[in-house]
Amino acid sequence: MPLDTPSHLTPPPPPARKTPQGAGASRNRVTQGPELGIQTQQPQQRWRPRHGLEPDSQHRGTVAGFAIGLLVLSAIEVIPAVVTIYQNSQLDEPVSLHHWVYLLLMVGILQSAYALYLWQLPDFSSLWVVSLLALAVATLHAFLLAIRILADENHSIIARLQLNLETLSPGKQAGWCLIILILFGTYCYFAGRTALKWQLRFQKR
C-alpha cells in the first residue's frame, strides 16, 4: 500500500531556464525559416547588371551624314560598271561582262552594307570600321592607278581584270581611279578624325 507523502515534504519543481529574447528570436527564425521556405538573410550581390551603351544623341546626325555619304560614294564608284552593263544590254548579241565589272559591283554592294551597318549602330567603333573600309577602297584604287600608269597592257593583273579589252583609253581609266582615290581618301580622313574625337571624349567621362 503506497504511503501518502505530505505536500509540505514534496520538493518544489526546478525553476524554468530563461532564454534571452534575442537568442530565442534568432532560434525561432532559424527553425521557422526552412519550414516556411523564407530566406531570412539575403546574400550579398557580387555583380550589378549593366545596361547596353546607348548612342550619343549629339552624334546621331553626324553618323547619319557619314552613312549617306558612303552610299553616295559607292553609287559614284559603280557608275562605270552600270554604264557597261547598260551598253551591253543594248546590243543585239550581248557579250560576257569583263571581270572588273563584277569586282566593282561587289565592292559597291559591300560599301552599301557597311553604310547600313553604320546607320543602325551609331557609335565611334562603327565609324572606325567604316573609315578603315574607305581606306581599303582608296588603297585598292591607288594600286590600280599605279599599275595602269606604270605597267603595260600585258600585265597579269590588267589581263586578269580584262582592263586591256576595254575601249576606254588607259589614261581615262587611270583618271577614274584617281578620282575615286581622292574621294575615298577624303572620306577616310574625316571619318577617322571624327571617330578619334568621339572616342577621346567618351574616355574622359
As a whole number of angstroms, the distance between CA 97 and CA 175 comes to 22
- Residue written as cell 557597311? 114
As a whole number of angstroms, the distance between CA 43 and CA 4 comes to 62
User: Would you give the end-to-end CA distance of the chain in angstroms?
Assistant: 98
As a whole number of angstroms, the distance between CA 5 and CA 124 comes to 99
Cβ atoms < 10 Å from Cβ of 135: 17
Determine the Cα angle at 16 with ends 12 and 22, to 5°: 170
Q: Which residues make Cβ contacts (< 8 Å) with residue 67, sequence separation at least 6? A: 115, 116, 118, 119, 130
DSSP 97: P
Walk along the chain (205 residues) and give the pLDDT tens digit of each residue. 454 545 555 556 666 565 555 545 544 444 444 454 555 555 555 555 444 455 556 678 888 899 999 999 999 999 999 998 998 888 878 788 889 999 999 999 999 999 999 998 888 889 999 999 999 999 999 999 999 888 888 888 888 888 888 877 888 889 999 999 999 999 999 999 999 988 888 777 6
**pTM exceeds 0.85:** no
- Quote the cell numbers at residue 121: 549602330
What type of residue sits at position 96?
A: S
Residue 180 parent element (H or E): helix 170-203
